[in-house]
Amino acid sequence: MIQVVLPRNLQILAGTGRTVELNVDGPVTQRAILDVLEAEHPALVGTIRDRITKKRRPMIRFFACEEDHSDDPPDEAVPEQVASGKEPFLVLGAIAGG
Amino acid sequence: MSGVRVLVGTRKGAFILTSDASRKSWKVEGPHFAGWEIYHVKGSPADPDRLYASQSSGWFGQVLQRSDDGGKTWQAAGNDFQYSGPTSTHQWYDGSPHPWEFKRVWHIEPSLNDPDKIYAGVEDAALFESTDAGQTWAELPGLRTHESAQEWAPGAGGLCLHTIVLDPKNRDRMYIAISAAGVFRSDDAGKTWRPANKGLRSNTMPDEDKEVGHCVHRIAMHPSRPNTLFMQKHWDVMRSDDAGDSWREISGNLPTDFGFVVDVNSNDPETVYVVPITSDSHHFVMEGKLRVYRSKTGGDDWEALTKGLPQKDCYVNVLRDAMTVDELDPCGIYFGTSGGQVYASADDGDSWNAIVRDLPAVLSVEVQSLK
């Protein structure tokens, strides 16, 4: 199971806890994770990435395994620790506004 | 009437303020959607338990929320606002072409008759309609594709469609206002539009009385007299008695005629309220005094209403969607400030009390008169 950690605002919007567990079939990529996340929680469509282009929203970041993966190609495999469920895939709002 | 429910949108959440018809004692609930900018919350005239809220964030984008129980619980509605067909450009601040981009929903206007039908005014300026309680949205593209659209330019807040006024006596007639383009009227339920700005003058345009390009901040109508409209323009308070075909200035003795809000007493279509703001660069009230101005003559002759409002060291603003009136007698008037106060008058504006003083900056105030 993939572990996705959501920021507080999106937890409330989607009606989830801090961590969402997802079953992702096939190669585990950012796109695959977010496709499943949005399918299971439609209220999140458009809040993490653009609903049409699927591009990450400018003030959203993706962290995993103590690294910033925000600009990784969306079809690139995520770290093995994330794919195996040992480490979470963190979605968070960028630090902005003081 | 059994009471009123005041719906407040702020920079960091929504609040619901309720009182019985005396409007003396208030219950404050919230924040709903804490941390999100709530540009507007409005109830359906056809079903007071049906509320809609526009929730947005620079981080997470636009969300629409719907309540079917008067704000006790909320569900995310649809947030797919796609312009219909190709988009062109509007003017940017420096006059250069700028592509049309959806940013947020500024204003929600539920149908007067159908709780599932709702209009949304958005930035960059366009009008959307939902007929399934906000689950899906379709643009009414006749407005955005108007021949003048490439000349529209953003006001300080963006190129926003911020006002939607429905004619209660003619279901096909509606008005919208855009900063900075002006007022447009449709007589075919939003399919086609024509500018309705004759009589406006704005020195922010090279041709001061051009029919499109004015920064109209707000328009208001009394339901018993739908051909009469009142306008707070960037500068100037205006009036039309021919459904927007022509306008005349009614600023009269106001100390300044810059401002954002304008509204009409629910029991008297000739009693009008504005909150003068020092200027477009200051964006706070004059002389440290928060004063509502009332005209009982439909404009020109204005009196300051100050009882209960701070008259010293006050430097707040009142934004365009942040004043409203209830349907009780005497009329209740409500407004919210950039300082987080929500003021109420239960006597046509003669005296005021703060319902609440320390909310986040207030973006919008609406009221429902509950039976």
Q: Do A93 and B33 touch (CB under 8 A)?
A: no
Give the total number of structural domains in chain A. 1
Task: Identify the pLDDT of residue A98.
Answer: 59
Q: Which positions ≥6 away from B18 have C-beta within 8 Å?
A: B3, B4, B5, B6, B26, B27, B29
Looking at residue A71, its amino acid is D
Give the CATH number of the domain where residue A32 resides: 3.10.20.30
Q: Do A46 and B59 touch (CB under 8 A)?
A: no
- Structure confidence by residue, pLDDT tens digits, A19-44: 999 999 999 999 999 999 999 999 99
B179 CA to chain A: closest CA distance, Å?
Answer: 26
- In the structure encoding, which two tokens stand for residue B140, read together? 């009414």
A32: containing domain: 2-93
Other beta carbons less than 10 A from residue B255's beta carbon: 15
Other beta carbons less than 10 A from residue B248's beta carbon: 12
Residue A98 lies in a domain: no
Partnered with residue B20 across adjacent β-strands are B3
Q: What are the contacts of A67-70 at 24+ separation with CB within 8 A?
A: A69/A30
Task: Identify the pLDDT of residue B207.
Answer: 92
Per-residue pLDDT at B228 exceeds 90: yes
Interface contact B17, partner A, CB < 8 A: no
The tens-digit pLDDT sequence of chain A (98 residues) is 999 999 999 999 999 999 999 999 999 999 999 999 999 999 999 999 998 899 999 999 999 999 999 999 999 999 999 999 999 999 999 887 55
> What secondary structure, in 3-state letters, does chain B show?
CCEEEEEEEECCEEEEEEEECCCCCCEEEEEECCCCEEEEEEECCCCCCCEEEEEEECCCEEEEEEECCCCCCCEECCCCCCCCCCCCEEECCCCCEEECCCCEEEEEEECCCCCCCEEEEEECCEEEEECCCCCCCEECCCCCCCCCHHHCCCECCECEEEEEEECCCCCCCEEEEEECEEEEEECCCCCCCEECCCCCCCCCCCCCCCCCCECEEEEEECCCCCCCEEEEECECEEEECCCCCCCEECCCCCCCCEEEEEEECCCCCCCEEEEECCCCCCCCCHHHCCCEEEECCCCCCCEEECCCCCCCCCCCCCCCECEEECCCCCCCEEEECCCCCEEEECCCCCCCEEEECCCCCEEEEEEEEEC
Which of A:50-79 have CB within 8 Å of B?
51-52, 57, 59-60
A49 CA to chain B: closest CA distance, Å?
Answer: 8
> What secondary structure, in 3-state letters, does chain A show?
CEEEECCHHHHHHHCCCCEEEECCCCCCEHHHHHHHHHHHCHHHCCCCECCCCCCECCCEEEEECCEECCCCCCCCECCHHHHCCCCCEEEEECCCCC
Per-residue pLDDT at B205 exceeds 90: no
- Structure confidence by residue, pLDDT tens digits, B339-357: 999 999 999 999 999 999 9
Q: What residues of chain A lie within 8 A of the CB of B35, using their CB?
A: 8-9
ipTM score of complex: 0.89
Which of B:62-101 have CB within 8 Å of A?
62-63, 76, 79-80, 82
Question: What CATH topology corresponds to B3-370?
Answer: Methylamine Dehydrogenase; Chain H (2.130.10)
Give dist(CA B96, CA B113) in Å, integer.
42
Residue B152: C-alpha distances to residues A88, B98, B191, B207 (Å): 46, 10, 19, 14
Residue A16 lies in a domain: yes
Interface contact A16, partner B, CB < 8 A: no
Best residue in B11, B59, B63, B79 for a mutation probing chain A (most A CBs within 10 Å): B59
Task: Identify the pLDDT of residue A97.
Answer: 58
Q: What residues of chain A lie within 8 A of the CB of B62, using their CB?
A: 46
Residue A46 lies in a domain: yes
Task: Select from B35, B63, B80 the Cβ nearest to the Cβ of A47.
Answer: B63
Q: What residues of chain A lie within 8 A of the CB of B76, using their CB?
A: 13, 42-43
Q: What residues of chain B lie within 8 A of the CB of A93, using their CB?
A: 59-60
Q: Which of B350, B335, B349, B327 is nearest to B267 (CA)?
A: B327
Per-residue pLDDT at B216 exceeds 90: yes
Please report, for chain B, the start and end positions of each structural domain, with discontinuous segments joined by +.
3-370
Other beta carbons less than 10 A from residue B281's beta carbon: 7
Q: What are the contacts of B112-117 at 24+ separation with CB within 8 A?
A: B112/B45, B112/B46, B112/B166, B112/B168, B113/B45, B113/B46, B113/B171, B114/B46, B115/B44, B115/B46, B115/B47, B115/B50
Q: What is the pTM of this model?
A: 0.95
